[in-house]
Amino acid sequence: MIHKTAIIEPGAEIGSNVTIGPYSVVEGDTKIGDECVIGPHVSVMRYTTLGEKCKVHAGAVLGDLPQDLSFGGGETFVKIGSGCVIREGVTVHRGTKPGTSTEIGNGCFLMALSHFAHNVKLGNNVIVANAAFLGGYVEVAEKVFISGGVGIHQFVKIGRLAMLGGNSGISKDVPPFCTIRSITLNVVGGMNLVGMKRAGIVPADRAQIKEAFKLVYRSGLNTSQAVEKMKASYTSGPALEFCNFIEQSKRGICRTEMDAQEENND
């Protein structure tokens, strides 16, 4: 199932029932899992691993060198899980420091022209729409939806089941279960209620998340006060996940639309 014009270098490990299309290149020191389908004009570059049953569409480039001036060579990696769909023109770059990797989880859907810079980490079942760009060291938890044209600054963290609106810019951490307004910078619009229901989060847990959201964004408390109140009220469950995310944030979290308006009026 390998087209006669495809180039497979020595040292590439190709699983069973793999299809590789015309003019694609698979370099050495790569591994392609069973039943993967590699389309035409795809580049799978050194130190890249694909799990089984991935589908890679035309023109994708997986495992090229990082766009980082501090990169000094050495073995760095791209690790892509099983069951991923990688559409046309997607680029996934290797890690920067020797021994590090860019990692895409299982079941991710990366739409056309999206970019994943060095040392990005995607959890399982993340959807990234067309022309979204994730900077170096961005971390995205499972089941996040990133809409088209979104730009995410390096080192930002996106919490579980967050949903980022189209053409928004993100340079602060996005707490789990929250939505980001389209065409805004770091503005939380509300909670991702539809995403939570689809993910099977039960009503009691959704109510707990709602209370946590109100404490952080609607109570008038500052972030530290809201976190302390959450910790006093909840010892487990998604509210504690919300709390822990905020405490671990190094860049600060996104604000609300009201906060953004007040800041612009100052």
pLDDT for 256 equals: 86
pLDDT for 259 equals: 62
Tell me which residue of 6, 56, 11 sits closest to 31, measured CA to CA. 11
pLDDT for 264 equals: 44
Give all domains of the chain, ordered by start, each with its CATH number.
7-137 (2.160.10.10), 197-265 (1.20.1180.10)
pLDDT for 205 equals: 95
Low-confidence ranges of the chain (pLDDT < 50): 263-266
Cα angle 110, 112, 114; round to 5: 65
**Other C-beta atoms within 10 Å of 188: how many?**
24
Tell me which residue of 94, 130, 133 sits closest to 110, measured CA to CA. 130
pLDDT for 265 equals: 45
The CA–CA distances, whole Å, from 228 to 96, 137, 177 equal 37, 29, 20
Instruction: Please indicate, yes or no, whether the overall pTM of this predicted structure exceeds 0.85.
Output: yes
Kind and range of the H or E run holding 164: strand 163-164
Indicate the length of the chain as a whole number: 266
pLDDT for 230 equals: 92
| Percentages of the chain per state (helix, strand, coil), in multiples of 5 | 20, 25, 55
Q: Which two tokens stand for residue 101?
A: 């990797």
pLDDT for 258 equals: 63
Q: Which two tokens stand for residue 180?
A: 């980001």
Please answer whether residues 64 and 36 qualify as being in contact, where contact means their C-beta atoms are separated by less than 8 angstroms. Answer: no
